Amino acid sequence: MPGPHVAAPIGWSYQDYFTARGFAVVYGESLGTGLSTGCPTTGDVNETIGARSVVDWLNGRAEAHDKAGAPAAASWSTGKTGMMGVSYNGTLPNAVASTGVEGLETIVPIAAISSWYGYYRNAGAVVAAGGYQGEDADVLAGYVYSRADQQICRPVLDGLTAAQDRVTGDYSQFWDVRNYRNDVGKVHASVLAVHGLNDWNVKTEQVATWYEALKKHGVEHKIWLHQSGHADPISLRREVWLTTLNKWLSHYLYGVGNGIEREPKATIQREDKSWVDEAEWPAPGTSDVELHPWPGGRSTGALDRQPVPGRPAVETLADDASKKIEQLADAASSGNRLRYRTSATTEPLRLSGTAKAELQLSFDRPAANVTAVLLDRAPDGTSHVISRGWTDPQNRVSPSVTSPITPGQRYRIEVSLMPKDYIVAAGHRLEFVLASSDHDFTLRPKPGAGLALELTGTTVKLPIVGGKKAFYSAIPAR
């Protein structure tokens, strides 16, 4: 219930729509924000308990008081509760659902986080959310810290700075308590997940990994994927979205038998802004197709079905974090990246899921970034980044363990790119680009770190709908 500070009323674009349909709307402000006391801790158990207590209150299991100190009971509530929000406000529903709290019947996480490590780190690499260099758990906590007393939580924020570890980027206890996937087995609330396929703030790995875990644990689920970024679908497809959401909440909170649970699980916005409904996501019938780089990467080498024959071929690059990936990818020739390209597609080709690069790499110094990028190259030469991923090669064994690199020694380094659903148009080509640092996302070390890629032992795996048959039909052998 509200604390002593008086703030402006909260507004929500869905309020009038749902109150007119018999739903009560409850606003809960997280710890250290707005009218709440406590301190923000960027997704840890304290914030989860705080949000869960609202569900407990609505079910008569927790006490509350109004600002005058009088008891406030939710006697009007049936106890059947849904949680919904965008970004951080969509993350809290994931957190509370992972506790298995009784009475939480459904959640609608939009552009939401399921593991905070993956928001600020990636396989040991410190990664900027949305390209906001320097932002981290402590910065976000300071940003949302909006309670009246602006000093009492300073020691807590300082503790976040010390514990988040921007030096090694390792997965630690700090991050583990902020990983809701650990408790996906406790989730019984149905989940309608929504995410932008071009969201580089809360990246698609957050929804894809969570969604896959929900499926494996038998949680009732549905997903909307749109072509925008960090956005709410009400601004993209208002009427259809509101109808879907109303059916979803009416079914899970009111018990209305409207058949929403039997509808296609996935609704996807395509590149031309049209929408399609599909049985599931990633698309059924998707399997990996393996491709291999051929010599010529400083300009453009081939990306082929077959590995380079004969003796091992090695190509090198030097790091330069001052250059954006798009600049490197579009350069006719560059010593700061390696680029490999397929033949032009003869028909549309669809990717659905997670692309991976299995690299054979050596380094000329004990620390470096590794960035892998998948692009679409149009016939007119323009390019579009489909996906990208990053890793710290010192975390090649585990994101939890820093294993030193011996310069000159070759290592197997795997990079998972952000999950996508993307159609490559006929006449376009796929490109794989390898770089060291990513100006927008990774830390930016001084230039010069050298990477050497052994082509023979390197594989790029693409999740192709229809597998090899579809790929070979769209991109015939050279």
Q: Enumerate the active-site residues.
A: 87, 199, 230
| 159 contacts: CB under 8 Å, gap ≥ 6 | none
In angstroms, the Cα distances linking 270 to 228, 302, 430, 431 are 11, 28, 18, 21
Q: What is the DSSP letter of 475?
A: S
φ and ψ of 148, to 5 deg: -60, -45
Determine contact, residues 339/293, Cβ cutoff 8 Å: no
Determine contact, residues 201/129, Cβ cutoff 8 Å: yes
Range 419-455 burial, b when 16+ CB lie within 10 A, else e: bbbbbbeeebbbbbbbbbbbbbbbbbeeeebbbebbb
- Two tokens, residue 407: 């310069």
State the Cα angle at 234 between 233 and 238, rounded to 5°: 110
Nearest to residue 77, comparing CAs of 37, 14, 22, 40?
A: 22
Q: Pairing between strand 81-86 and 275-278?
A: unpaired
Percentages helix, strand, coil for the chain, rounded to the nearest 5? Answer: 25, 25, 50
φ and ψ of 276, to 5 deg: -130, 145
